Structure 1
Amino acid sequence: MKKILKKCVAGLLWIVIFSVSTSYAQTNNSDNEYKKPLKQVLTEIQDRFHVKIKYPEDMVKDRFVPYADWRYKTTAAATLASVLAPLDMKVNEEGPNAFKLKYYEYSRITVEEGREKLAYLSSRYNDKTSWEKRKYDLRPCMLQALQLSPMPARPKSKPIITNKRVMDGYTVENIAIETLPGVYVSGSLYKPLKIKGKIPVVLCPDGHFGDGRYRADGQYRYATLARMGAMAISYDLFAWGESLLQFKGEDHRRSLAMTVQALNSFRILDYLLTLKEADPNRVAITGASGGGSQTMLITALDDRIKLSVPVVMLSSYFSGGCPCESGQPVHLCGGGTNNDELAAMAAPRPQLVISDGGDWSANVPDTDLPYLQKIYGYYGKPEMVQNAHFPKEGHDYGKSKRLAMYDFVAEHFNLNINVVKGADGKVDESKVVIEKYPAQYVFGPKGENLPANAIHGFDQLEKLFNK
């Protein structure tokens, strides 16, 4: 009886499968746009091209590909691009025959597309005159895209400075600056313990790393620069760190984050250059990842920056995936630009591009650097742009990258790097004190010292710009 039952079930199952297949074959035509489930299409692509495609189930659930079988090309990559285009999806190539399904990213194109765009941009100018015309066409558009044209009025309040600490060869103070009415940016200001005459200023915008400006690798960098004789300031991303006292974490992924962060850098520099010890002829900016995006953007827009070190961010095919890097239409200026052109706007000021083999900056030595050298060559100074590439490293501002930056800043700003070297002749960061969060808070452990006029909520920030 059981055997008969099993045969009946198997027979019914075969009938159902046959019926569905027949029905599908009969209805899979132009009347229904040759539509197929996305998951089925991806499986078929994997089988046909012998590749692996990673994706979470919720990305493919209830999604269909129109004219699916008509979209096949000669390679897996070309087929996936064709299949996914109408769904606003794409894949990232993670290795040989390995892909990962992604939603469409407006800020990222393929490596080859990036090279093609860079070649096109490069063809638009061939000497200093034509390049500077392009540069000065871009700049006002970029400021307008950021909603910073005209520039908002600067609040008249004085910076809030608290809790000065004296360390081995340097000091640290907590600082907050009002950049818009009721909007504050918090940071840590590092200075040499003994200051003689004018000293360099180094802006250190933060990137998207855990612990923000409080992280250890950041503190090593800021303090070592101070021990070398410069003043260095680190400061929070918008809606990170103490900015969370005023805004929610999700507000960081709003387009105005890009605007506020740019304004924060301008306002911080405005203040630091009022200090009697600040040397306006030796102003630098350096940051990694999102901080690298800020480094290129601020240098492009502000001639007060005399030296820049963008870290693990320069790429011809990636403009920064966070809205704080590409949320405003800056990269649409001039008929379309990219981070290479933004970095080129630093010319002929000294620039060290730091890159690695583990992210989108992997192609800097053979793609981005030659382009930058061409632009710097228009000024007769191709040697003023350099690249420190670490092919076996990843996306960070690690020690090897810091060492390259220290040498570059010391050389161009005439700093004595020997004061931070040990007996072995290498830079010694061990004298830097790594502080915990509370020591670096401007407004107290619970934000109890936040000024009374501080706004709360993204809607209030929008009202400031709507005025």
Structure 2
Amino acid sequence: MRKLTTILLFQLIIISSALFAQTADDSYARPLKDVLADIELQFNIKIKYDNKMIDDKVLNYADWRIKPWSVEESLYAVLAPFDYTFVMDNDKYKIKSFEYARTNVAQGEKFLAYLESQYNDKASWEKRKTELTPCFREALRLSPLPEKPDSKVILTAKRKYNGYTVENFAIETLPGIYVCGSIYKPSKIKGKCPVILNPNGHFGLGRYREDQQKRCAMQARMGIISASWDIFAWGESLLQFDGTLHRLSAAHSIQTLNAIRILDYLLTLKESDSSRVGITGGSGGGSMTMMMSAIDDRISLSIPVVMLASHFNGGCPCENGMPTHLCGNRTNNAEVAAIFAPKPQLIISDGKDWSSSVPALEYPFIKRIYGFYGATDNVKNVHLPEEGHDYGFSKRIAAYDFIAEKFGLNAEMLKNKEGQYDESTITIEKEWQMYAFGKNGENLPLNAIKGKEALMNVLRQVGIEK
């Protein structure tokens, strides 16, 4: 009898639950498009979306999700069941698929407030750093670093220009995997030269574009050994790998290892000054600038350009494919950049991309941490509110000034009679002139691997891909 009663009670619970769920679904389910229209009316806002994302969607418990005190909380609650989120786009709320690497300024502000509460002085911040930096290397699966291939750096003939030289290089960073780039040096070298890495982002022509060549050549004319190279599965890397492989999560690790190996080589040059090593890049190159500055103690000057934000970690897996930003129970690029304190850092931002929040939000956060060391003079923000997402001339001017000041260099030789930086004497090379493997790839080494299957085999062997 007791067993029968238990069974009947269990069945009654199931039936009651089903009836309640059915009643609730019937009462509260509404088309998502109608819910968004109500939110627009209630909060007097405009919402943008692709109809294909919205038309067939029905939201359960719709009206219960709207929070009359907050449009953003309402949107989060309404969109989350569909794995959607939103960003601000020209004063409109634009609905898009969820991105793990992007939120919005309001969320960035809350994130930084939380992080600030975790450390109030140098000692507590140093404890946080010791938690983050080893985790970055482990998340990238570069701890320990894979063994260096036993091969020599490939160098092409040197081209001589006005005050500087250029030679192309190829370095085998993993078995059968090469990174290619160009090294710019002063025409006349006296004593030791600073070294500057110039990682690339996703700008048009990559390292072959005009503004990248100008930046590296001007650095060389200033007395610097400057290097620029292809991001993975771009440029000459396409001789080995299809461009779609650039969006593998492993690209994040490969590109970081490439930067480390290039610096390894540059510091073997007898004319290199290991005490003056800088790094600067824009966009995805800015992501690499911040990460390398955090994990490689050899770097002593950092200039991330149009990339730093607390609410965006990069739009490509080559910047965030590995779980670096899950370290320390979550971090963001503002905190990653702050790890560089107290060493010299220039943050260049603009008004027309995600870095627009830097002056009011991320820069004060970073400057506070520099203050723990009494080094606020070592961090600077140059903000260009009318400019957009590039490493344009005004941004390069700011970088030249900062490098000259912090590395004790004379930049006057780079200026015209009016005292303005003059890049007109820089020779812009054709893309094929910058190739390490020849105009048609004819000098690609015999051991160079090709294709995804061969790539994944190597990555598994070295522990980057599991």
TM-score (norm 1): 0.91
| TM-aligned CA deviation for residue 243 of structure 1 | 1.2
| 1:462 Cα deviation after fit | 2.4
1:413-424 aligned at under 5 Å gives the runs 413-424=407-418
Deviation at 1:61, TM superposition (A): 4.7
Q: Aligned equivalents of 1:293 and 1:30: distance in 2?
A: 47
**1:7-406 → structure 2 map (5 Å cutoff):** 30-32=24-26, 34-74=28-68, 75-96=70-91, 98-406=92-400
- 8 Å contact 1:164–1:173 — kept in the other structure? yes
Gaps of 5+ in 2: 1-20, 462-466
Q: Is the 8 A contact 1:28 1:34 kept in 2?
A: no
Q: Read off the aligned partner of 2:329 and give its amino acid letter.
A: G
Matched residue, 2:403: 409
Q: Which residue of 1 aligns with 2:447?
A: 453
- The whole-number CA distance in structure 2 between the counterparts of 1:38 and 1:164 is 62
* Structure 2 CA distance for aligned equivalents of residues 304 and 274 of structure 1: 13
Q: 2:437 aligns with which of 416, 432, 443?
A: 443
CA separation of 1:39/1:265 partners in 2, compared to 1, >3 Å: closer, same or farther? same
Equivalent position amino acid for 2:162 in 1: D
Shift of 1:448: 2.1
d(CA) in 1 for partners of 2:144 and 2:243? 28
> Equivalents in 2 of 1:157, 1:33: separation in Å?
70
Partner of 1:466: 460
Where 1:361 maps in the other structure, the secondary structure is helix
* Displacement of 1:409: 0.3
> By how many angstroms is 1:156 displaced?
1.7
CA distance in 2, matches of 1:86, 1:280: 52
- Tell me the CA shift for residue 284 of structure 1: 0.2
Per the alignment, in what secondary structure is the counterpart of residue 129 of structure 2? helix
Alpha-carbon deviation of 1:48?
4.7
Equivalent AA in structure 2 for residue 406 of structure 1: Y
Answer whether contact 1:28 1:35 (CA < 8 A) is retained: no
Query: Matched residue of 1:284: which SS?
Result: strand
Q: Secondary structure at the match of 1:402?
A: helix
Aligned counterpart, 1:4: none
Alignment CA distance shift 1:245-1:31 (3 Å): same
SS in structure 1 of the partner of residue 304 of structure 2: strand
Q: How far off is 1:330 after superposition?
A: 0.5
Deviation string, structure 1 residues 372-402 (Cα, Å, up to 9, x no partner): 1221122221110111111111111111110
RMSD: 1.7
Shift of 1:33: 7.2
Distance (whole Å) between structure 2 residues aligned to residue 326 and residue 29 of structure 1: 44
- Work out whether residues 87 and 103 of structure 2, in 8 Å CA contact, stay in contact via their aligned partners in 1: no
In structure 2, how many angstroms separate the alpha carbons of the residues matched to 1:83 and 1:121? Answer: 28
SS of equivalent residue, structure 1 residue 187:
strand
SS at match of 1:355: strand
Tell me the TM-score normalised to structure 2 length: 0.91
